[in-house]
């Protein structure tokens, strides 16, 4: 009877298996399963809280789930390639994977910016909805196809803070001439307001602010800003992060390397990336609240809200800038049309759900 049950189980496995299934190590008569060793380069300092630990967790979980058949070595910014060369490194096959933010690659593909965050755009929850069920993933893959890259969501910080300033922002005029580290579409909006946007990797922010190379900076939020010690070199901490309301990070995968994996390892990579995407948002939601308390109570940070008229002007400028960026090429317009349609629909729903509830709770 035992032998019969084993034979039946084997038959069921064979009937469920498709042509892509690989023989597993230890199976009777099977060759040892092929193993793969990948490199993953990031735009973050090694093991930096949240952003840097997410790819480390990804690598650990992939190795565990694959039984060691796929191992991934994670490199921090500058260890294998500079922070802002992750895209090229993965595209060219220097590394099989990368972890970064899509808005850093606007010089490669303008439409890439829509897959990190849009000023006054989608929140983290809404961004996940658009990517997973609103057509965003297919568009993202279309944008990255010429570069031999497969993009996947790789985490979200949630609504960020507005940034660190060494002078008060009481009106839009206070933004004029301001040199601020702020990438992506938010930087374009600052430029329209009369400021000077600067793109810097995280590891260079503290020194640049300390030496006066920049006058202000945004980074992420309390959790990461505390880790960088930005409270030591800037006096005022503003909110909300109008420029990044739901900043999605990305895993990029070299498509040739991905195609070499058997189907089950491909599935492990995809599913683990999805788990890390959810895990990062949960971590930031938890860590930010504790860090904000520490910044205020231990370090005496001046936390203040942007004036309403400043936010109103920034939103008006954002609408102009985003429309112009979208209109610059057909693919950007295609992506933005999808993004905007989803935003308008989900905004209407959240007005009677998330927003209405929070207003009632408060």
pLDDT of residue 11: 37
C-alpha 54: how far from chain center: 10
- Per the listing, tokens 């390639």 go with 81
Q: Would you place residue 29 in the very low, low, confident or very high pLDDT band (cuts 50, 70, 90)?
A: low
Q: Would you place residue 31 in the very low, low, confident or very high pLDDT band (cuts 50, 70, 90)?
A: confident
Which residues, 6+ apart, have CB-to-CB distance to 191 below 8 Å? 197
DSSP assignment of 260-300 equals HS-HHHHHHHHHHHHHHHHHHHHHHHHHHHHHHHHHHHTT-
My answer on whether omega of the bond before 240 falls inside 30° of 0, hence cis, is yes
What tokens appear for 27 in the block? 């199976």
Half-sphere exposure of residue 170: CA atoms within 13 angstroms, side-chain side: 2
Grouping H, G, I as helix, E, B as strand and the rest as coil, residue 171 is coil
Half-sphere exposure of residue 341: CA atoms within 13 angstroms, side-chain side: 9
Residue 232 has pLDDT above 50, yes or no: yes
Q: Is the dihedral of CA 252, 200, 331, 116 positive or negative?
A: positive
pLDDT of residue 32: 82
What is the average pLDDT score of the chain?
92
Name the helix (H) or strand (E) containing 163. strand 163-165
- Per the listing, tokens 């860590």 go with 287
Rounded average pLDDT over 28-49: 89
Q: What is the pTM of this model?
A: 0.88
Instruction: Determine the Cα–Cα distance for residues 110 and 356; give it in Å rounded to an integer.
Output: 35
Calculate the alpha carbon distances from 155 to 101, 342, 349 in Å.
10, 20, 24
Residue 334 has pLDDT above 90, yes or no: yes
What tokens appear for 121 in the block? 């755009």
- Three-state secondary structure of 270-281: HHHHHHHHHHHH
Which residues, 6+ apart, have CB-to-CB distance to 320 below 8 Å? 192
pLDDT tens for residues 69-92? 999 999 999 999 999 999 999 999
Q: Where is pLDDT greater, at 19 or 51?
A: 51
pLDDT tens for residues 127-173? 999 999 999 999 999 999 999 999 999 999 999 999 999 999 999 99
What tokens appear for 132 in the block? 């997973």
- Per the listing, tokens 């990438």 go with 183
Instruction: Determine the Cα–Cα distance for residues 80 and 90; give it in Å rounded to an integer.
Output: 12
Instruction: Determine the Cα–Cα distance for residues 92 and 32; give it in Å rounded to an integer.
Output: 30
Cβ(44)–Cβ(51) below 8 Å: yes
pLDDT of residue 30: 62
Calculate the alpha carbon distances from 73 to 46, 93, 265, 269, 278 in Å.
12, 15, 16, 14, 22
Rounded average pLDDT over 330-334: 98
For Cα atoms 306, 309, 314, give the angle at the middle one, nearest 5 degrees: 75
Bridge partners of 164, per DSSP, are 217, 237
Name the helix (H) or strand (E) containing 302. strand 302-305
């Amino acid at each position: 009877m035992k032998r019969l049950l084993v034979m039946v189980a084997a038959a069921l496995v064979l009937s469920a298996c498709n042509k892509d299934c690989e023989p597993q190590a230890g199976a009777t008569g099977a060759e040892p399963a092929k193993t793969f060793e990948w490199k993953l380069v990031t735009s973050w300092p090694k093991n930096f809280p949240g952003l840097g630990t997410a790819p480390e967790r990804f690598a650990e979980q992939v190795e565990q789930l694959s039984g060691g058949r796929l191992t991934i070595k994670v490199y921090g910014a500058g260890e294998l390639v500079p922070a802002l060369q992750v895209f090229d490194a993965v595209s060219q096959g220097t590394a099989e994977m990368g972890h970064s933010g899509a808005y850093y690659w606007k010089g490669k593909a303008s439409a890439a910016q829509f897959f990190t965050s849009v000023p006054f755009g989608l929140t983290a929850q809404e961004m996940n909805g658009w990517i997973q069920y609103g057509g965003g993933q297919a568009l993202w893959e279309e944008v990255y196809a010429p570069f031999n890259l497969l993009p996947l969501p790789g985490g979200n910080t949630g609504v960020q803070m507005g940034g660190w300033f060494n002078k008060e922002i009481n009106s839009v005029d206070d933004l004029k001439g301001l040199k601020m580290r702020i990438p992506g579409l938010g930087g374009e909006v600052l430029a329209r307001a009369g400021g000077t946007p600067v793109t810097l990797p995280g590891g260079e922010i503290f020194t640049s602010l300390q030496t006066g190379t920049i006058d202000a900076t945004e980074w992420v939020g309390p959790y990461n800003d505390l880790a960088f010690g930005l409270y030591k070199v800037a006096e005022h901490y503003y909110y909300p992060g109008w420029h990044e309301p739901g900043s999605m990070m990305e895993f990029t995968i070299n498509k040739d390397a991905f195609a070499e994996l058997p189907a089950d390892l491909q599935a492990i990579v995809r599913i683990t990336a999805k788990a890390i995407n959810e895990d990062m948002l949960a971590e930031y939601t938890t860590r930010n609240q504790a860090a904000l308390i520490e910044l205020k109570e231990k370090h005496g940070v001046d936390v203040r809200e942007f004036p309403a008229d400043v936010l109103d002007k920034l939103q008006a400028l954002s609408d102009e800038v985003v429309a112009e960026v979208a209109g610059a090429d057909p693919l950007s317009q295609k992506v933005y049309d999808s993004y905007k349609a989803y935003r308008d629909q989900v905004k209407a729903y959240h007005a009677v759900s998330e927003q209405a509830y929070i207003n009632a709770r408060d």
